[in-house]
Amino acid sequence: MDSILVEKSPPLSGEVRISGAKNAALPIIAASLLCDSPVTLQNIPNLADISAMERLLCSMGMETRYERDEGTLEIDPSRVRWLEAPYDLVRKMRASFFVLGPLVGKYREAKVSMPGGCAIGARPVNIHLKALEDLNIELEVEHGYVVADGSAMRGGRVHLEFPSVGATENAICAAARAPGESVIENAAREPEVTDLADFLVAAGAKIEGQGTSTIQIQGVDNLSVDSYSIIPDRIEAGTYLAAAALTGGTVQATHCREKDLTAFLADLRNTGCEVNVEPDGGLDKITVSRPGPIQPVSEIVTLPYPGFPTDLQAQMMALLCLAEGTSIVKETIFENRFMHVSELSRMGADIRVEGNSAIIRGVKSLSGSPVMASDLRASAALLIAGLVAEGKTEVLRVYHLDRGYEKIEQKFLGLGAKVERVRAAVPSK
Ligand code: EPZ
């Protein structure tokens, strides 16, 4: 398994171009199943998770063409043969579960493996299933699979007990082609959910309220759109901007959107950073610099959008490890998203976990060491911690990073970081 060797680096400086959003691309690729003709998706990042979703669609008989360098993915949904998402594919990437709504929405049937849990939590799908049942879809869970019968499905009132991103996305896709009107209450408001809805509207769906907690949908019989461009990845942008803050440099993230990062940028300012936003042709250039010491933040609480994003919690914690005082980070979205704490502590951080809160007492410096994480955002946090740690840090299991960060070492090298991918020795025969 490859690893990334990180050395203490000078303050990062320069521009980094932000790629398309993984968490918008995945549900939109799944939703292309709903279309009746080929669609070309643009601004698609070159990521392992995108390849995994492409493999899933191909396993159903769809034809695809993924031009990684151009960032385009052509999908022809007209040749679907099998309405099944097998365990072997779903277990490797839980976002595969997002094909359930589109399959039953278009074909009125589906058989999708239950996704397993993962390192950050059990990640059940009860809210997804309840949402589909609210649309009169009959579901059976047998032998680890969800078997859906949508022969009697119709629009209806869907109330989500929690604004789950994935459950909202599955519900939107099923309702988009369900006869009649649907209302999704307590819907997730994440920009990626809005992008999915906007993609379907571009294909002729009748959806209103995306981005708010109440989404109205009028089912239609046909959906078709030639091409659609994915929004920028706010989590990737936040990761590089956190690295700028941590190293005390000045970094400009281009082709991103400030409105997707308001909570994160507000807390970055609270740590003593300067944040400048420059509109640039419908997108933004966001520049972060840190003129003085890192200030502690009394409490950062992860919340559903527009609150502080859980996917930037680990990166913010890495920054607070070197603050001049004590900060608290409270994780309210996932039940086990502090695995990076033990690894940061091995690097010399002073962090104590009490329930779903981490108390971070700033230290003067970190020391490099071999570290590993079991989720892609924690891995990113350990990489940026390595940029300021004395000596060398080797981030193991770099496949986590490759799932969610396109060209990560090239982009960091472009900012002056001392990083190098170390290829695992291929075991001799
Ligand atoms: C999406 O996951 C993202 N993944 C996650 O990003 C992100 O952290 C998460 O939303 C929250 O913003 C993709 O979009 C592919 P949820 P999702 O359903 O949809 C519980 C990354 O690093 N829950 O909003 O799975 C769940 O266990 C990934 O890119 C239920 O209990 O998140 C969790 O505690 C990590 N029952 C909370 O809700 C359900 O049926 C939020 O989950 C569904 C969810």
CA distance 400 to 3: 10
- Estimate the crossing angle of helix 339-346 against helix 376-386, to 10 degrees: 20
Query: For a pocket test of ligand 1, which of 28, 160, 333 has the largest count of ligand atoms closer than 8 A to its C-beta?
Result: 333
Q: How far is the CA of 61 from the centre of ligand 1 (A)?
A: 28
Is residue 323 pLDDT above 60, yes or no?
Answer: yes
Ligand 1 closest atom vs CA 166: 19
Is residue 48 pLDDT above 60, yes or no?
Answer: yes
Task: Write down the residue that tokens 């989590």 correspond to.
Answer: 235
Verify whether ligand 1 is closer than 6 Å to residue 131 (CB atom): no
Ligand 1 closest atom vs CA 129: 40
Residue 19: HSE in the Cβ half-sphere, 13 Å Cα cutoff: 23
CA distance 10 to 243: 11
Verify whether ligand 1 is closer than 6 Å to residue 347 (CB atom): no
Verify whether ligand 1 is closer than 6 Å to residue 128 (CB atom): yes
Ligand 1 closest atom vs CA 190: 12
Is residue 65 pLDDT above 70, yes or no?
Answer: yes
How would residue 429 be classed by pLDDT, with cut points 50, 70 and 90?
low
CA distances from 296 to 16, 178, 242, 292, 312 (A): 26, 50, 14, 12, 16
Is residue 422 pLDDT above 90, yes or no?
Answer: yes
Long-range contact list for 345-354, CB < 8 A, 24+ apart? 346/371, 347/321, 347/371, 347/382, 347/385, 347/386, 347/389, 347/393, 348/389, 349/321, 349/385, 350/321, 351/317, 351/321
Look at 209-213, 255-259, 400-404, 412-416 and tell me which has the smallest mean pLDDT: 400-404
Q: How far is the CA of 25 from the centre of ligand 1 (A)?
A: 15
Q: What is the DSSP letter of 210?
A: B
pLDDT at 117: 67
Residue having the nearest C-alpha atom to atom 35 of ligand 1: 311
Rg (CA), the chain: 22
Q: What percent of the chain has pLDDT over 70?
A: 98
Verify whether ligand 1 is closer than 6 Å to residue 167 (CB atom): yes
- Estimate the crossing angle of helix 22-31 against helix 100-107, to 10 degrees: 20
Residues 179 and 155 sit within 8 Å (Cβ to Cβ) = yes
Q: How far is the CA of 298 from the centre of ligand 1 (A)?
A: 26
How would residue 255 be classed by pLDDT, with cut points 50, 70 and 90?
very high
Is residue 310 pLDDT above 90, yes or no?
Answer: yes
Please state the rounded mean pLDDT for residues 338-356.
Answer: 97
Ligand 1 closest atom vs CA 130: 40
Task: Write down the residue that tokens 């789950």 correspond to.
Answer: 164
Query: For a pocket test of ligand 1, which of 164, 377, 403 has the largest count of ligand atoms closer than 8 A to its C-beta?
Result: 164
How would residue 6 be classed by pLDDT, with cut points 50, 70 and 90?
very high
Residues 223 and 13 sit within 8 Å (Cβ to Cβ) = no
Q: Mean pLDDT for the chain?
A: 95
What is the phi/psi pair of residue 421, to 5°? -80, 130
Residue having the nearest C-alpha atom to atom 25 of ligand 1: 166
Residue having the nearest C-alpha atom to atom 39 of ligand 1: 125
**Which distant-in-sequence residues (6+ apart) come within 8 Å of 24 by Cβ?**
191, 192, 195, 196, 230, 231, 233
Ligand 1 closest atom vs CA 123: 27
Verify whether ligand 1 is closer than 6 Å to residue 117 (CB atom): no
Verify whether ligand 1 is closer than 6 Å to residue 164 (CB atom): yes
pLDDT at 374: 79
Residue 191's nearest CA partner among 127, 239, 236 is 236
pLDDT tens digits along 155-199? 999 999 999 999 999 999 999 999 999 999 999 999 999 999 999
Residue having the nearest C-alpha atom to atom 30 of ligand 1: 124
CA distances from 52 to 75, 94, 140, 316 (A): 14, 10, 26, 29
Query: For a pocket test of ligand 1, which of 22, 23, 125 has the largest count of ligand atoms closer than 8 A to its C-beta?
Result: 23
Domains of the chain: 3-19+232-422 (3.65.10.10), 22-229 (3.65.10.10)
Q: How far is the CA of 315 from the centre of ligand 1 (A)?
A: 18
CA distance 290 to 245: 6
Which residues have a catalytic role annotated? 118
CA distance 326 to 66: 47
